Amino acid sequence: MTDELRRLRAQVSSLQSLLTLSKLMGDSGDQLRIVHLAGTAVPSLARCQLVGVELAGAGWGLVGPAGGSAAALREVAGALQRLGQHGGAVASPAMAPGWVWAYPMQSAAGHAGFLVVAAAAEPPAEERFVLQSLAQQTGVALINARLQADERAAAEAALEAKREADRANTAKSEFLSRMSHELRTPLNAILGFGQLLQLDDLAEEQAESVDHILRAGQHLLGLINEVLDLARIESGHLALSPEAVGVFEVIKDTVDLIGPLATERALRIQAPSPRECAWTVQADRQRLKQVLLNLASNAVKYNRHGGSISLSCHAGDDGRVRIAVADTGPGIPADKLPRLFTQFDRLGAEHSEVQGTGIGLVLAKRLAEAMGGALTVASVEGQGTTFTLELSLAMEPV
């Protein structure tokens, strides 16, 4: 290799770092700075003049040597473009010195554009080699710089998205705690004073009205609590206190609570004996009760007059306890089952006399999952529905 060639190589790499630097200095400036580089003669390439750089996707930054008119430049640029990705030479009679070569700037990762030089005649092999490697190294530098810039932009975008999500989350939890206070406070006053009124000596009609107020108030309170619970789960703000909870005890509490409702509808409740249900599960006691109450109250609401509700439990070899709540209601048609755990979807019950909101089951499922469990359903139309709550065993049977 001649000394001349070695010097040219050094120039190639300094030009390459210039290009990299200009790319790193900013996106909008990138084309401009590179075009600035164009027009400077590559000193040691005696017969060639660097007349431009074309950047793929950014257009041609062709700068003509002295004497090149704008029209000639446009014509040359068009002709170079038509050569395709491999570049080549085009004659430019209108533009001294006469011929323009486009050397592709590319790496294995892609095509960055062309390095454009002008000369009167084809440069000798040695100079062509230098020009080719100059183009190639510039391509590698440009593509790498582009990849780096893309990566930086992606990282920046991800960070901004996370900041945005955090802001939304904070706003949501603030809204929740506010709403929970703002809605529950007046509602508790309504319920409290309603209860006081109930103690008074009321005429029959008045007593009925107070009863309406209290029942509607309770319904609203239940609804608010459910919506807030659901929102809390969704924003990840549900606080659970997991402990070992005796299954029989929660089943008994549930049965006690729905007993009066079941009696009203002449429903028989079958519950397991303490011996049949001597398991403890890992769960939040209050939330577990809430889930079972939801399932049991559905079993009461969606049942036939004089039917039955059966609660049972069973521990599997897999360390899971399954609590089943079965009813003898109309069942859920197979084509509606996929919609079952969808909030506010009452599967048509909204046209019936049965009161509800369509949140209970979604909430029950989400609560079960938050406690590391699951809630599944099996239903036979015309015969009844069984919901199965599955939780992890906390310890050996007592």
Ligand X SMILES: Nc1ncnc2c1ncn2[C@@H]1O[C@H](COP(=O)(O)OP(=O)(O)O)[C@@H](O)[C@H]1O
Q: Which is nearer to Mg ion, 112 or 291 (CB)?
A: 291
Q: Is 273 exposed, middle or buried (0-12, 13-18, 19+ CB in 10 A)?
A: exposed
Q: Taking CB within 5 to 8 Å according to partner kind, which of Mg ion, ligand X, none is near residue 302? A: ligand X
Q: Using CB under 5 A, which of the segments 7-15, 135-143, 281-289, 356-364 binds Mg ion?
A: 356-364
Give the footprint of ligand X on this chain (CB under 6 A): 298-299, 302, 327, 329, 332, 340, 346-347, 349, 356-362, 385
Cβ nearer to ligand X, comparing 42 with 362? 362
- Find the Cα–Cα–Cα–Cα dihedral 19, 23, 25, 27, rounded to 10°: 150
Alpha-carbon Rg for the chain in angstroms: 39
Residue whose CB is less far from Mg ion, 118 or 258: 258
Return the residues of window 250-309 that contact Mg ion according to CB under 5 A: 298
How remote is the C-alpha of 48 from its chain's centroid?
55
- Which among Mg ion, ligand X, none contacts residue 52 (Cβ within 5 to 8 A by kind)? none
Both structure tokens of 190: 């309504």
| Strand partners of residue 103 | 115
Chosen from ligand X, Mg ion, none, partner binding at 105 (C-beta under 5 to 8 Å by type): none
Q: Which is nearer to ligand X, 82 or 305 (CB)?
A: 305
Distance (Å, whole) CA 33 – CA 53: 11
In the range 358-397, which residues lie near Mg ion by CB under 5 A?
A: 360
264: Cβ–Cβ under 8 A, 6 or more apart, which residues? none
Return d(Cα 262, Cα 293) in angstroms, integer.
13
Indicate which of ligand X, Mg ion, none lies near residue 349 (CB less than 5 to 8 Å, by partner kind). ligand X
Give residue number: closest CB to ligand X.
356
As a whole number of angstroms, the distance between CA 229 and CA 360 comes to 10
Euclidean distance between CA atoms 187 and 94, whole angstroms? 88
Instruction: Find out whether 324 and 314 touch, Cβ atoms under 8 Å.
Output: yes
Nearer to ligand X, 326 or 393 (CB): 326
- Smallest gap from Cβ 342 to ligand X, in A, equals 8
Q: Choose among Mg ion, ligand X, none what residue 386 binds, the Cβ cut-off being 5 to 8 Å by kind.
A: none
Give 248 or 387: the residue with its C-beta nearer to ligand X.
Answer: 387
21, two tokens: 């630097």
Q: Which residues bind Mg ion (CB under 5 A)?
A: 298, 360
